[in-house]
A and B are shown apart, each in its own frame.
Chain A
Amino acid sequence: MIENRLPRGSFLILTLIVVKTFLQFLNILPLIALLVYSPFVQDAQAQKNNTLSPYVQKGYLTFELKPMGSREHPLILRTFAPTMALPKNEVLPNHSRGLPSPKYSPSSGKEATKQYQPIDGIPAAIAVNLGKPLSYVWDTTECRLLYAWTDGFLDMKNYWGTRESGRRKGFGYVPRLYGFVFYKALGKHPLSIDGKSISDLDAPIYSGYSIDSDRLPVYEYQSGEHNISLKIQPGPSTQTLRLEFSTTEKEALQFSSPTTQVETISKIPGKLTVVIRPNAGEQFSSDEKKEIIKEPTQEIGEKLYTSLGCIACHSLDGGKNHGPTLKGSFGSKREFLSGASLVVDEAYIRESIENPMAKTVKGYLTGMMPPYKLEQAEYDSLILFIKSVR
């Protein structure tokens, strides 16, 4: 059972098994079982760890949008990661460069002079959280620690969306970092082997990682002829990091990073342990700033059309897609699967956004669109925008 992930021998597990077996015996749905025992688990766990993250309790990712691990149960998350304004040329030399691209109309096949702009994001990173004391992002493309922080991890809401809607934020879905960033990669790759920075060798090749007895990932990568491994742990004091490098051929290893205090803990051929101290200090709130709309406008509606993802299914140019086009929709007649019909008005648009299951337009599938619970001004802005699409 999943619950085996809990610390072995704890009183909790016994209680859980008893409770769960009892419930199963009664043939009650797991849903009810969870409702019954969740608060109990959370209380016990909270007392012990001072954390409530279901990930730590259950050992699996839940619908929680701000999952956290712990020292005993590190959370390893492969995901898009924020760039955190890292200097691209020095720190991300093995990534390519995205460029602006002309906007495109899928129904005319023509391009416009306006352009799509790239956004910030690291495509192939590994994010790790050990609870409040440490989070870090290690990148498989650069084979390098990119940044580390405390007191938080990643807010996945813009990427995973809520349980009900699963809605990604249109052009801003890179998970949001929250907490206190104390380390950021600067300059060339900090590792030198036999006196040569590995930045000067061919692009490093990520080989994989092992989970060691501390349940921590130990990364392995190749650079030139060298096979390197790296374990990242919290340092001896808060906002420090302990990095253990080793190589298979007993090379001389050195770690250096501009404007970063590095303490060498041990150094023998093929092994290097350092502690690095903070070189940054930036606080990122755990709450996303929400813009308050003073007055609904068509422009805000247009932005919402993109950011809420309406754009994926409803075209503006009459083009066919999963949902009806918005072009000329306002005031037009709609026929529904039920056989009923009506003329599109504000109330119908509002209902279609808030409760899309209420009516399904003929020729389309029922249940494709998730419900959108928005602010009044957001509904109004969207309605203004939809009215404007003639």
Chain B
Amino acid sequence: MKKILSLFLCLSSSLSGSVNSYTVENIAFPNDMPPEVGGLAFDEKGYLYACLRRGDVVIAKPGKDPKATKWEVFATGLHNPMGMILIKPGHIIVSQMAELTEIIDTDQDGKADRYNNLSTDFGISGNYHETNAICPDGNGGYYIALGTASHNGPTFHTPRGEYSKEGRRGRNFSSNQLRGWIVHYEKNGKLSPFASGFRMHNGITRSPDGEIWSGDNQGDWRGGSPIYNVRPGSFNGHPSSLVWDPDLKNFGTPIFLPRKMLDDLHNQPSVQLTRKTMSSCGEPFIIKSENFGPFNGQMLVPDENGRRINRIMMEKVDGAWQGASTLFLNTEELRAGGVRIAMDAPGKSIYYASTARGWQRPDEGIQRITYNGNTPFHVKDFKLTTQGFEIWFTEPIQDPEKLAEKISVRSFRFEYGYRYGSSEKDKKEHKILSSNGNESFEISIEGMEAGRIYELEFSSKLLSLKGEKMDDPQIQYTLNRLKRPSSTHRTSLIKSKDGIEVNVAGKFFAKYNFDKLSQPIIWPIQGPGNIRMLRDYPFKKDTTGEAKDHPHHRGIFIGHQVMSGAGFWHNQFKTSGTVEHLKVIESRSGEDRALIKTLNAWKDSEGKTIGADTRTMTFGGDDVARYLDLEINMHATNQDLVFEEFKDGFVGIRTHPDLRLTPSPKYGVNKVFGNARNSVGGEGKKIWGKRADWVHYYGTIEGKEAGIAFFSHPSNLAQKGERSWWHARDYGLISANPFAPTKLGGDGKHTIKKGQSLKLRYRFVFHSGSKDDAGIEERFADYAKDPGYPTSIMPPHPGYPEEYLSKKSK
């Protein structure tokens, strides 16, 4: 009867899509059993294990009639167990409030009799909000997601694990050891930190390709409900947990770090779900079945606060994951509070577990969602193109040539900051420029920008050939990165202990060294045709024809003569500070560009941390040139950063001696082959101390025509309307300096107030061939238009309590 009814509805096209393709049934529980399901798993014999939050683990074999489900108690005595993995019948691993526990029925009488503590090496504050979840690591160990506490509840006088006063601050907080982290429990019993920056990641999943996925809840530092691809060592946006990151321990209270620093550290979520489809993410679930409709391999995410399940289509773009989301099932038949999903062996049904006790009206239980074979009319897959998106539908559509008329596109951004959630900011409508295709459709869209969420809505006029309308006809795409053009100059990275080597088109281009003579250094650099671009000295002392002057000119280096009382240009003096590489925030490659992003501490001569930088280096190339983009963000973490006006600063390069303008027989440089010019027509030695968009040194290096151009992005700090000031010498030093003395025509002293940041962007072009073949003017025009990596919309820094509270009391 039901089938006939739904067929009728399809034909009348008044209702269709997912709701008619999946049936929802309630699995029975004894009326007095609280079915607050925290974990769910099937064993090989078809028994379903469910751990309940008051402490029991119960087992049933769901049959055809869900009302006839009979539950037996397998284990008990667990505190808010929210994660469960089945090893084999009678043997499970459970994460609970206080521990990771192995539970075994050793005598096989159907009741567990052994409870092994696998790990308690993480804190519990006593706050009610600290969730837990687990997934396998693929090697016999587990990842455990440890939620943070909420300021709507207290901590105990006697918590477990180290307590941090700094971690206790803020809305959701990490007062005790490793809260807000995902930790790795290895098979050998060792527990180590894996990734930080979570708020309430109530659900973690390992996909068949070995990637780790975690949802999180909208809230502070969460504009929407994010889904993270959890990279080892990554920081996933919520700052409190950073108190347990030794690399950040010298920068003060994490919630007061400069906003841009947090934004740069943040592993941007692969997908952001909006309030329209998700209130708070339950555990992501990967469909591994051809029998559950046309979505095999995609991710389902239930809503902890709503009666709906989202469907996610991920793809790797520019070396990292991002993707599209839509509603999979959105029906009042579902219980609210969806947290976990498990699939039975035939793969036709999923079991959807919900619990909401403690955060909203209780709505607990397990529901079975079964595919009835009616293909839902919806988007089957959705991918980014260089011009727009490519769309696949589950069914052929009517009038495919008119598709563009039936789609509207808008976009918006979410705020990243301490406020709870975000409304849609900076909203835009986008025109569809064209639509092509038959089986899949490529639509090109005006105004595609990175750092935005795009929403496509299909109008009710879009019908399948069978006449069906689409349920919930919206797709959202989290566009963190634009699709890169295809390139024959693919990049790769080779990581080692002391640095990262970058290859372009299979040839060595550059090495980023974490520590060379007091700071991270880029050296050596080989241009196209394997031309050496930099002076080897002081790293190599025996290269012939090199002058051994200025030993602080180290490859490509960053520093300033005096910043807040310490010297960072020279490395050989007593007053010299150091720039310490703390960590690689992210590195990726594979397409036409490679990226290395690092965090560094600026320390004075006594080793005291005074500031930080995050720097993003992007490497790529074509037939005639290699380029290196440097975006450096200086962060006033510990105090005001004062760049005194001096000529020696800020980003410097020491070229191959052949590019020198003048010889230096005293130092063994007898012949030179270099010329210089700048963007405003200056030439030779005269470009020193002048303002320009770029400078260009060219000539022949070791007998081959080559050159180096150095661009300063027009957005860089400079007096109003002015270009960058260049410390461009005749002996091979070129530096761009935004803090040069005013009496030399520079911009003078600059102060970054504590809690603020300064962004500076530069590009180096290393080319072969003549100065004209390199097309420097065009390359600069492209660079000037390049918006760079997006910066999130962020509420301003709230200030430091020690300042605003003392002002208040005065």
A residues lining the B interface (CB < 8 Å): 1-2, 4-5, 24, 27, 29-31, 34, 38, 54, 58-64, 76-80, 83, 88, 92, 95-99, 101-104, 106-111, 113, 116-124, 126, 140-141, 159-161, 163-166, 168, 170-171, 173-174, 206-211, 217, 309, 311-312, 315, 319-322, 356, 363, 365, 367-371
Cα(A174)–Cα(B420), bound, Å: 27
Question: B45-60 CB contact bits vs A (8 Å, 1 = yes)?
Answer: 0000000101110100
Question: B145-183 CB contact bits vs A (8 Å, 1 = yes)?
Answer: 000001111111111111101001111010110000000
Cα(A32)–Cα(B351), bound, Å: 25
Choose from A2, A98, A170, A369 the contact partner of B126 (Cβ within 8 Å): A98
**Chain B residues whose C-beta falls within 8 Å of the C-beta of A171 in the assembled complex:** 153-154
B321 at the interface (CB under 8 A from A): no
**Chain B residues whose C-beta falls within 8 Å of the C-beta of A64 in the assembled complex:** 32
Is there contact, CB below 8 Å, between B420 and A168? no
CB distance from A321 to the nearest CB of B (A): 5
CB closest chain-A residue, reference B77:
A76
**Chain A residues whose C-beta falls within 8 Å of the C-beta of B363 in the assembled complex:** 367
Choose from A2, A24, A77, A108 the contact partner of B30 (Cβ within 8 Å): A2
B108 at the interface (CB under 8 A from A): no
Nearest first, the 10 closest Cβ-Cβ pairs linking A and B are A109-B798, A166-B357, A76-B77, A124-B98, A78-B79, A95-B158, A166-B362, A208-B116, A123-B124, A96-B163
Cα(A211)–Cα(B117), bound, Å: 14
**Chain B residues whose C-beta falls within 8 Å of the C-beta of A62 in the assembled complex:** 32-34
Cα(A95)–Cα(B31), bound, Å: 39
CB distance from B302 to the nearest CB of A (A): 14
**Chain B residues whose C-beta falls within 8 Å of the C-beta of A371 in the assembled complex:** 361
Q: Which among A60, A103, A121, A367 has the highest number of chain B CB atoms within 10 Å? A: A60
CB distance from A258 to the nearest CB of B (A): 20
**Chain B residues whose C-beta falls within 8 Å of the C-beta of A116 in the assembled complex:** 151, 154-155
CB distance from B102 to the nearest CB of A (A): 8
Question: B111-152 CB contact bits vs A (8 Å, 1 = yes)?
Answer: 111111100100111101000000000000000000000111
Cα(A373)–Cα(B88), bound, Å: 46
Q: A98-B157, A118-B157 provided; 6 other pairs, C-beta below 8 A?
A: A1-B72, A80-B156, A160-B54, A165-B362, A217-B115, A370-B362
B residues lining the A interface (CB < 8 Å): 28-34, 52, 54-56, 58, 67-68, 70-73, 76-79, 96-99, 101-102, 111-117, 120, 123-126, 128, 150-163, 165, 168-171, 173, 175-176, 220, 255, 275, 279, 305-306, 336, 356-363, 417-421, 423, 795, 798-799, 801, 804-805
**Chain A residues whose C-beta falls within 8 Å of the C-beta of B255 in the assembled complex:** 109
Is there contact, CB below 8 Å, between A208 and B114? yes
Cα(A174)–Cα(B125), bound, Å: 13
Is there contact, CB below 8 Å, between B32 and A113? no
Choose from B97, B275, B361 the contact partner of A367 (Cβ within 8 Å): B361
CB distance from A146 to the nearest CB of B (A): 11
**Chain B residues whose C-beta falls within 8 Å of the C-beta of A164 in the assembled complex:** 362
**Chain A residues whose C-beta falls within 8 Å of the C-beta of B151 in the assembled complex:** 103-104, 106, 116
CB closest chain-A residue, reference B357:
A166
CB closest chain-B residue, reference A306:
B152
Cα(A27)–Cα(B114), bound, Å: 38
**Chain A residues whose C-beta falls within 8 Å of the C-beta of B158 in the assembled complex:** 83, 88, 92, 95-98, 120-123
Cα(A31)–Cα(B31), bound, Å: 5
Is there contact, CB below 8 Å, between B73 and A59? yes
Cα(A102)–Cα(B28), bound, Å: 47
Is there contact, CB below 8 Å, between A96 and B30? no
Chosen A-B contacts, 5 in total, with CB atoms closer than 8 Å, are A60-B56, A96-B161, A102-B801, A111-B801, A319-B420
**Chain B residues whose C-beta falls within 8 Å of the C-beta of A210 in the assembled complex:** 113-115
Cα(A104)–Cα(B77), bound, Å: 35
Cα(A124)–Cα(B117), bound, Å: 12
CB distance from A311 to the nearest CB of B (A): 5
Is there contact, CB below 8 Å, between A111 and B169? yes
Cα(A59)–Cα(B70), bound, Å: 14
Tell me whether A80 and B168 are in contact in the complex, defined as CB-CB below 8 angstroms, given that A5-B73, A95-B159, A312-B152 are known contacts: no
**Chain A residues whose C-beta falls within 8 Å of the C-beta of B128 in the assembled complex:** 159, 168, 173
Specify the main secondary structure of chain B where it touches its partner: loop
CB closest chain-B residue, reference A208:
B116
**Chain B residues whose C-beta falls within 8 Å of the C-beta of A356 in the assembled complex:** 361
Choose from B33, B78, B123 the contact partner of A60 (Cβ within 8 Å): B33
Choose from B56, B70, B126, B795 the contact partner of A123 (Cβ within 8 Å): B126
Is there contact, CB below 8 Å, between B152 and A79? no
Is there contact, CB below 8 Å, between B361 and A368? yes
Cα(A122)–Cα(B124), bound, Å: 10
**Chain A residues whose C-beta falls within 8 Å of the C-beta of B116 in the assembled complex:** 207-208
Is there contact, CB below 8 Å, between A161 and B358? yes
Cα(A78)–Cα(B78), bound, Å: 5
CB distance from A354 to the nearest CB of B (A): 13
**Chain B residues whose C-beta falls within 8 Å of the C-beta of A311 in the assembled complex:** 152
CB distance from B579 to the nearest CB of A (A): 30
Q: Which among B101, B113, B160, B305 has the highest number of chain A CB atoms within 10 Å? A: B160
Choose from B31, B70, B362, B799 the contact partner of A110 (Cβ within 8 Å): B799
Is there contact, CB below 8 Å, between B120 and A206? yes
CB distance from B17 to the nearest CB of A (A): 21
CB distance from B604 to the nearest CB of A (A): 29
Is there contact, CB below 8 Å, between A107 and B420? yes
**Chain A residues whose C-beta falls within 8 Å of the C-beta of B361 in the assembled complex:** 165-166, 356, 367-371
Cα(A95)–Cα(B67), bound, Å: 47
Is there contact, CB below 8 Å, between B120 and A140? yes
CB distance from B802 to the nearest CB of A (A): 10
CB distance from A98 to the nearest CB of B (A): 4
Choose from A113, A163, A367 the contact partner of B805 (Cβ within 8 Å): A113
CB closest chain-B residue, reference A172:
B154
Cα(A334)–Cα(B362), bound, Å: 26
**Chain B residues whose C-beta falls within 8 Å of the C-beta of A207 in the assembled complex:** 116-117
**Chain A residues whose C-beta falls within 8 Å of the C-beta of B165 in the assembled complex:** 99, 101
**Chain B residues whose C-beta falls within 8 Å of the C-beta of A58 in the assembled complex:** 30, 32-33
Tell me whether A140 and B152 are in contact in the complex, defined as CB-CB below 8 angstroms, given that A104-B169, A109-B418, A123-B159 are known contacts: no
Is there contact, CB below 8 Å, between A319 and B56? no
Cα(A61)–Cα(B76), bound, Å: 9
Cα(A110)–Cα(B804), bound, Å: 9
**Chain B residues whose C-beta falls within 8 Å of the C-beta of A54 in the assembled complex:** 32
**Chain A residues whose C-beta falls within 8 Å of the C-beta of B56 in the assembled complex:** 60-61
Is there contact, CB below 8 Å, between B305 and A209? no
**Chain B residues whose C-beta falls within 8 Å of the C-beta of A321 in the assembled complex:** 420-421
CB distance from B185 to the nearest CB of A (A): 15
**Chain A residues whose C-beta falls within 8 Å of the C-beta of B152 in the assembled complex:** 170, 309, 311-312
Is there contact, CB below 8 Å, between A123 and B160? yes
